[in-house]
Structure 1
Amino acid sequence: MSAVTVFNDLRPRLLGVAYGLLGSVTEAEDVVQEAWIRLQRSDIGRIDDLVGWLVTTTSRLALDVLRSARHRRESYVGPWLPEPVQTAADPADAVGLADSISWAMLVVLETLAPAERAAFVLHDLFGLSFTEIGTALGRNPAACRKLASRAREHIESRKPRFDVDPTEHRRVVSAFASAATSGDLEALLRILDPDAVLTADGGGVVRAALEPIHGADAIAAFLAAVAEQGPRKTMRATVVNHNPALLVFVGDRLDGVVALGINDNRVTAVDFVRNPQKLTGLGAWAGE
C-alpha cells in the first residue's frame, strides 16, 4: 500500500487526534497538512510503521501548536471556547473527527496542561499505548500513565453531568430557541436552571459578553436585551460534538452556534460561539 493511500485512509483519524488536542478545526487541518509535508520529505523506506509515524508526528506537531496557543489565549478577548463541529444526532452514526469528543469534554480539556491533555486524548480517546505516547511527548511510559491518570481525575471532577433523553432534549432546545429569539423573559426563566452559566466567545471580532454570566435571572435579562436591541435572529436545532445546539442566523448569515447543557429538563449551560473564525468548520466534516 502506498504512502498516499495510507495517509488518505488515516486522515480522518489524524484530524481527530489534532482536533482533540487543539479544539480548533483550522489548526487541526494545518497540523495534518504539515504532517503530510514532513512525510514527503522523509525517507519512507526507512519508516517501519507508517501509521505509527503519522500519528506520532501529528501528535507532536499538535502539541507544539497547543503550547503556543496557550500563550496566545492569554491575550484572547473574552472567554475562549472550542471550535464546534456538527456531528450525527446519534453518536453511533458518527464517522468524523469528533466521534469520541463531546462538547462538555472539549470545554474541560481546555483547563488541562498540554502534556496532560495529550496523554488523555491519545490514550483514552484514540487508544495509543503509553509507549507510543511517550515517543510523542518525549517522556517515559510511566510518566505518561501518570499524566493521563491526573487528567482523567480532573475531567471526571469537572465534567458536568447532563441527562441524555433525546426527546426531552428536543423539547428543551425548541423552548429555549423560542424564548431567546422572542426575548420572552418569563419563558427564559422557566427553561433556565437557577445556577445556569452563559459563556460567549466573540474573540474581540464581534460583540459578546466579556465574562461568563451566572444565574438564570442575569442570563434571561441578557438574552431578552439582545433580542430586543439586536437584529432579528432565527435559530435552527443541530448537534455539535454530540451535544444539543442551535445554529443562530441573522437573515441567511450564520451568526453563531449555541451549545446547550441540559439536565432535569432545564438548561444549565449556554455556550455561545460567535467568533466567525470558529464557524467555518460547521458542517464541513459532518458525515465524513
Structure 2
Amino acid sequence: MELPVSSPAELSRLRARIVALEGVGADAVPGAVALGLPELDAALPWGGLALGCLHEVTVAGSGSGPGSGPADGAATAFSAVLLGRLAAGAGKPALWISRGDMPYAPGLAALGLSPERLVMVQPHRAAQCLWVLEEGLRCRALAGVLAEVRDVDLTAARRLQLAARASGVPAVLLNHGPSGGTAVTRWGVESSPSRGDPALGVGRWCWHVELLRCRGRGVDDQGRVAAWEVEWDEQARGLRLAAPAADRAIAPGRLRAAG
C-alpha cells in the first residue's frame, strides 16, 4: 500500500499542529521566566520556566490526597514559588484554584507570592476545577494559573495545552494523582531537613527537587533530568542551593549550659 505524498506546506502545518498539542518545542517557545537559580534555569532549554504550556509538580504520597503532610506541603510551597516567579516576571496577577483548604496567605507572601497579585477560586467539583483552569488559561491578563488537580485525562490535558498555547499563559498543575504525561516539565518535590543552625530555631524551607521530565532533555539512569537540594531565602526572596549537611561545632555557651 502506497501512502499519499504530502506537500512541504502540509507537512509544516502537521508539525505545527503536533507542537500545539504536545506543548512547546525547542523552536516554538513563546517566552520563559527565569527561576532565579542558575542551576535550575540552566537545566531548562528555555533558560527558565516556559510560558504558554503546562508544568506539573507531583506530591510524594499523593494517594492520601491533599493535605497529606510534609510532602504535600513541600510540593505546595514549591508550586507557590513557581507561581510567584511568574507573577513577578509578568507584573500581572495569578490565579490559584484550590480543591482543599485555602492556602495560608502570610505563608504564600513569605514565599514571594503576594496576596495583592493573587486571585483565589475554590470549586466544589473536579469538572468545575477544569473549567476554571481552562478559562484562566485563556485570559491574557493573568501571569499564570496554579490548579490542584487529580486524574486529568489526556483529552482534558490537550484542551488545557491548546488554551495555554493560544494565550501564552502557563499552568502549574499541583498534581495529587497519577501523572497525565502531557506537561512540558514535571517536578517531584520532597521536604528536606533544614540546614540552618538549630540554636536559631526553625530554619529555612528546604526541599529535594527532581526534574523528572523536560521536553528537549534526556534522563539519567534514575529516570530524572536533574536533582537539587534547594532552600528558600526569605530575605532575598529567591531559591538557592542548600549547603551540604555537615557536623557543626557546638558553641561554647551551649557547652557550659550542657555541662
Q: Same fold (TM over 0.5)?
A: no
TM-score by length of 1: 0.25
TM-score normalised over the length of structure 2:
0.27
